[in-house]
Amino acid sequence: MTAGRNSAVGEQASAAPEKAAKGVKGIRGAGGAAASAAGKGAGGAGGAGSAAGSGGKRAAAKKTAAAKKTGAAKKAGAAKPVKKAVAAKPAKKAVAAKPVTKAAAAKPAEPVKKAAAKPESRTALVRRARRINRELAEVYPYAHPELDFENPFQLLVATVLSAQTTDLRVNQTTPALFAKYPTPEDLAAANPEDVEELIRPTGFFRAKTKSIMGLAAALRDEFGGEVPGRLEDLVKLPGVGRKTAFVVMGNAFGRPGITVDTHFGRLVRRWKWTEETDPDKVEKAVGELFPKSDWTMLSHRVIFHGRRICHARKPACGACPIAPLCPAYGEGETDPEKAKKLLKYEKGGFPGQRLKPPQSYLDAGGVPAPPLGATAPPATGE
């Protein structure tokens, strides 16, 4: 039993080493497994450790990355105002640049406008001025001096009286004056107070009485009671200037002359024929644009146009036949219907300024002016 036990034991013992070996192998295997597990574990532990380590590193890396991201985010967040600020700076510059752009755009615009309105050449001015004269000749074929007269003496006196008043008022006043004093000798010998009373309606009657009585005496004493036909003689008479002299020369003697009255001076400046305001300089400047043969009728046409259409305060631009040639078009009423209501004398269907107008005027539809004190519709004019 003992031997059997011993053999059993021996078998067990012999088997034991095998088992032990197997065990060892198993143990080794297990140990290996364990070891490998352990190794894995260690490796795991180490791996875990390393995993833990690498996990820690990863975590740290993640934290670092997160921190970097946070830092980057913070930087990005901090960078946003910078971007805004950077973006804002050009924006401010852009805003500030707008007025500069406008100003820069505005500055060259002025020369462009000026360049567009090129100065008119002398040749172009002469052509335009003469074309205006031709157009006016078609509109006013009946143009004439708007003072009633029968001889040079009456025209001379009437022209002196027309200062600072209308031709109509003079025409309504002179019939009584000439009926009482028909010659220079008669007027020179008149009672000043009687003359003053007769010409009172024309205004400035005391000064005008001295002028017409003085020129009547000069005609009587120096020219044998006749009106001279030369400019140099006429301007020596009391109250007679170049304008009056040219009226008399052109209409009583048929000698060319330019009459620069208020209307004439105003219109030639509007038409840019001249910029002069002194009557003598205006006369010279305009006279150089036309042949002498045109001077007298040119004066009548321009004055007619100034009284009927191209008024001082409100020109009837919309009814003006020379509007395309006028640099001042648009200063007055441009609507055709409204402009028609501004027309005066025969153009507007009203009486003219002369009590005894030429037949050509009557043929064109003109109506004689009413005598002083008449109840007929008064003529309208400047």
Choose among 331, 330, 327, 360: nearest CA to 346: 360
Residue 140 vs residues 32, 62, 207, 334, 345: alpha-carbon distances, Å: 136, 104, 35, 21, 12
Residue 29 vs residues 18, 23, 35, 48: alpha-carbon distances, Å: 14, 8, 8, 21
Choose among 181, 295, 302: nearest CA to 231: 295
Long-range contacts at 321-330 (CB < 8 A, ≥ 24 apart) = 321/135, 321/136, 321/138, 321/139, 322/132, 322/135, 322/136, 325/128, 325/131, 325/132, 325/135, 325/271, 326/270, 326/271, 327/270, 327/271, 327/272, 328/270, 328/271
Sign of the CA dihedral running 252, 278, 294, 298 = negative
**What is the C-alpha R_g of the chain?**
57
- Write b or e for each residue in 198-211: b if 16 or more Cβ atoms lie within 10 A of its Cβ, otherwise e: bbeebeebeebbeb
φ/ψ region of 345 (left if φ > 0, alpha if ψ in -120 to 50, else beta) reads left
Whole-angstrom Cα distance, residue 309 to residue 304? Answer: 8
Catalytically annotated residue among 148, 208, 243, 344: 243
Whole-angstrom Cα distance, residue 174 to residue 200? Answer: 11
Catalytically annotated residue among 167, 261, 344, 347: 261
Angle between helices 192-199 and 167-180 in degrees, nearest 10: 140
Do 227 and 265 contact (CB within 8 A), yes or no? no
DSSP string, 111-129: HHHHHHSPPPPHHHHHHHH
Active-site residue, 261 included: yes
Active-site residue, 243 included: yes
Q: Which residues are catalytic?
A: 243, 261
